[in-house]
Amino acid sequence: MMSEKEPEKLPPPLLLSAIICDTVIIDAVTKKVSLINAFEAISATKYPARHPFLAFFCQLTNGHGKARITFKLVDIQEEDKILFGDTVEEEFQDVRQVRNITFNIGGIVFPHAGEYRFQIYVGTEFLGERRIICRKINLPSGDKNNE
């Protein structure tokens, strides 16, 4: 039983989607969202590798009032070392409202090939994550007979 001094803990928002893409465009008039070039993997010929720009898009619903949303890009092979993080405050006017949130990252360096995770929190509560794989590739040799 809850004491009178403890406020009722409201449930955190629900994570509806989490997508990694090149860019997010939001139409100024209709507010429709366009996700351009969604992907789950990055290929590079050598590591560390710098990715010029990416966007992490997520949708949340079932929010109650103000919520501090934290985004982290973590290297799970290095004890969840944080490569990038950001926090925004969103206000939910209604639990049925869907909030679209975009985190833009320019020039992120992935130290090695392997698995990384984009994680979403509200306060300290973990809502979910999206995996991204960085893979090392070899380019074809410069054999001009194959052109």
Query: Which residues of the chain fall below pLDDT 70?
Result: 1-8, 142-147
Nearest-5° Cα angle at 74, 70 to 78: 145
Residue 107: inside a domain, yes or no? yes
- Confidence at residue 30, expressed as pLDDT on a 0 to 100 scale: 95
Residue 47: inside a domain, yes or no? yes
What CA–CA distance (Å, rounded) separates 137 from 44? Answer: 6
Residue 145: inside a domain, yes or no? no
Q: Where are the alpha helices (DSSP H) in the chain?
A: none
Quote the number of domains for the chain: 1
CA dihedral 88, 91, 97, 99 (to 10 degrees): -10
Residue 6: inside a domain, yes or no? no
The model carries a pTM of: 0.84
- Confidence at residue 147, expressed as pLDDT on a 0 to 100 scale: 44
- Confidence at residue 9, expressed as pLDDT on a 0 to 100 scale: 77
- Confidence at residue 4, expressed as pLDDT on a 0 to 100 scale: 58
What CATH number is attached to the domain comprising 126?
2.60.40.10
Residue 2 corresponds to which tokens in the numbers above? Answer: 């809850």
Residue 118: inside a domain, yes or no? yes
How far, CA to CA in Å, does 112 sit from each of 2, 21, 29, 44, 133? Answer: 49, 20, 41, 10, 10
Residue 102 corresponds to which tokens in the numbers above? Answer: 């975009």
- Confidence at residue 146, expressed as pLDDT on a 0 to 100 scale: 45
Residue 143: inside a domain, yes or no? no
Residue 7: inside a domain, yes or no? no
- Confidence at residue 96, expressed as pLDDT on a 0 to 100 scale: 93
Residue 146: inside a domain, yes or no? no
Domain extent, residue 67, equals 14-137
